[in-house]
Amino acid sequence: MTSFSRGQVVEWDTQTIILKNCNGVAKDRACLLSPTMRFNLGLCRKRTLKQLLGGWEIHCSYFYEGDSVTSLFHGGFESTHTESSEFNLDDSFQVKEKISHESTDSPLLGTKENVLLAHYIPVYVMLPLDTITMDNEISNVDLLHANLHALRTAHVDGLMVDVWWGIVEKDGPKCYDWSAYRSLFKLIQSYGFKLQAVMSFHQCGNNAADSCYIPLPGWVCKEAESNPDIFFTNRDSKRNKEYLSFGIDNEPVLNGRTAVEVYRDFMQSFRESMSEFLESGMVAEIEVGLGPAGELRYPSFSNSQGWRFPGIGEFQCYDKYLLYDLKEAAKSIGHNEWGSSGPADAGHYNDWPQATGFFRKHGSFTSDYGRFFLEWYSGVLLKHGDTILEAASEVFEGCKVRLAAKIAGIHWWYKSMNHAAELAAGYYNLRERDGYKPIAKMLARHRAILNFTCIEMRDKEHYWKARCGPEGLVRQVTNAGWDKGIDVSCENALPRFDRAAFDQILLNARPHGITDAIPPKRRVFSFTYLRLGPELMQENHWREFVSFVRRMHAGLDYHPEPDKYFKPTVPLERSKPLKAFLEEPAIPVASVPLDQYHVPLALQKAEEPFFSQDAPGGGLGAQVESSSASFPLNLIAWLWHGTGPSRTVKQNVQSVYQSDSDYKHTGSSRGATQSVQDFYQSDSDNKHAS
């Protein structure tokens, strides 16, 4: 990727010029086409348009802007001069001046096959959790060989592997043993798979789907004997050892290191020990574990604590470090009484919302205190993810990998007005507040992929009294990512082998269906299937899975290199500066009815690849409503810089909420407020330090 400026002569090496204007900042770029794509398009002389567009003199017949490939003379641009000319790849163009059109990095598609390649979605498969045992050995190598051979014949693109902190660094601080993982990576490389490596900083064994037990490193657990507050704690003082408390991110309590330093050192050792796999491009993604189960959330619902579906869970903020943080936040706004504890009436793990004073209809979560607490609670989560991802971007800078972060699919009580389970997990998501846009904006700062779960679920498959809404939740979260300009990947939350689940994945992965006429308006970056195991290898399950992979590939043959389906991997850059990022204007969000979001499968042609020539032009997902609520606090300055919030509590918002009986929260009426109460929205009253 080559930067260029006014007056610079750039050698012609492509049939499209990629222009990008970052809010007035001179960061325009010309992206050169890969050799394979030049081969596909042909190296011969072509008759095209010579177009003077907005002062740029370029030789090309198409311009890729946003969601579609547009002919220059049909794209709504007013040109100053158009003429036919011949050119070859030795020609050059000169940059005359800047223009403000924003475009993606997809080249001229040309043929139908190339258009279909733009619909190609790579499919990864998770390896078993205990592929590397606690003895730091590969489990059942012969069986693994057989499984990898089968996945290769099914044209699976890659694999996901958990890299367990509790295995690699179990012998002591900074005592890393990568031997088993190096052997595993070599085995995976021999089959030609790409790899998603998960930095698993959590304990395995706390969730229903966990098939083994892998604790945190023993030396960490020993530190907890003298300081149990390094773990999350609920109101009853029960410790959760699944993940370290966010409160010690910057506290040197782990043998003299902070949690952030421990995570950074682990990732740095991974980079150094696995350099050959990073340099070869085999490791395509680094998913950074940011919480329990590797997800950016609090451990509010844990089987080890007695939680059972569809309990609301419990707030996890009662260790001394988070309580101190809460106290300081309350003090900074002049409400010391709010900093002594979390909500006293929020119930227990298996309560339902209406059984609690905090979450029930007109409950205290709508009070000034409730809104303050939820702002702080979700803000700590957001800051944790931001801090760890910034460390990861520093460690892997220059590597041809993508960073990714996983967001939990907490779909129970999603259709209730309180969203109790989401709030307890740290997602401050309500009818009038989109809790996932701040997360997406944070990920955009680090150029990270948003990986979301429960893409296979349908509302009707769940207990209706639990007000489950996985379909609406998937739409809301994926569109939060796309609206912020980041790539979105997904995975199934539970093992599924049936066609109904695979069809639902396809609908969510390509919300506008497939057509061989234009590239997709929106599609997921990749899909990861949970999980490799004996059930998947059963004949009927395997047949469905192989067919599903073919459909995810848009009916095309396997393509091992992302460049071929227009997802080139470039060296990772460091995170954007926080101050500069906060000052960027909000990305506008369009609004369309939810029933236009998907192309129903029944309308799509049955043959492979299944097309939809009637894909709707809209389809952004949740409708956007305006909100006049001035509360809650803007705690971003205090959370990041310690300068205190800029507003005080002035509004009682009880009247904002309608009664539960009046609230019809269905897939076609879900409302979301654009960037309301966004922690990442800069405050005009506050001057943030960089």
Annotated binding-site residue? 249: no
Q: How many whole angstroms from its chain centre is CA 116? A: 24
d(CA 82, CA 69): 19
Phi, psi (deg, nearest 5) at residue 413: 65, 15
Rg, C-alpha atoms of the chain: 25
d(CA 231, CA 317): 10
Which one of the listed residues 169, 287, 491, 544 is annotated catalytic? 491
DSSP 334-357: T-GGGGS-S-TTS--TT--GGGST
Task: Find out whether 688 and 579 touch, Cβ atoms under 8 Å.
Answer: yes
**Cα–Cα separations (whole angstroms), residue 604 to 67, 328, 506, 608:** 21, 56, 11, 10
Annotated binding-site residue? 411: yes
Residue 24: CB atoms within 10 A of its CB come to 9
Annotated binding-site residue? 210: yes
DSSP 602: G
375 assigned to active site: no
Task: Find out whether 119 and 514 touch, Cβ atoms under 8 Å.
Answer: yes
| Sign of the four-CA dihedral 31, 33, 34, 37 | positive
Annotated binding-site residue? 46: no
- Phi/psi region, residue 220 (left: phi>0; alpha: psi -120 to 50; beta: rest), is alpha
Nearest in space to 597 (alpha carbons), one of 468, 511, 510 = 511
Annotated binding-site residue? 20: no
Annotated binding-site residue? 453: yes
Annotated binding-site residue? 492: yes
d(CA 387, CA 143): 39
Which one of the listed residues 169, 295, 390, 544 is annotated catalytic? 295
Identity of the residue numbered 564: K
H or E segment to which residue 92 belongs = strand 92-94
Task: Find out whether 675 and 582 touch, Cβ atoms under 8 Å.
Answer: no
Q: How many whole angstroms from its chain centre is CA 46? A: 41
295 assigned to active site: yes
Annotated binding-site residue? 50: no
DSSP 457: -
* 674 contacts: CB under 8 Å, gap ≥ 6: 434, 437, 586, 588, 589, 624, 626
Give yes or no for a cis peptide into 531 (omega within 30° of 0). yes
DSSP 596: G
Annotated binding-site residue? 540: no
Report residue 33 as tokens.
Answer: 């086409």
Active site residues: 295, 491
Per the annotation, binding residues for substrate are: 162, 202, 210, 406, 411, 453, 492-493, 531
Per the annotation, binding residues are: 162, 202, 210, 406, 411, 453, 492-493, 531
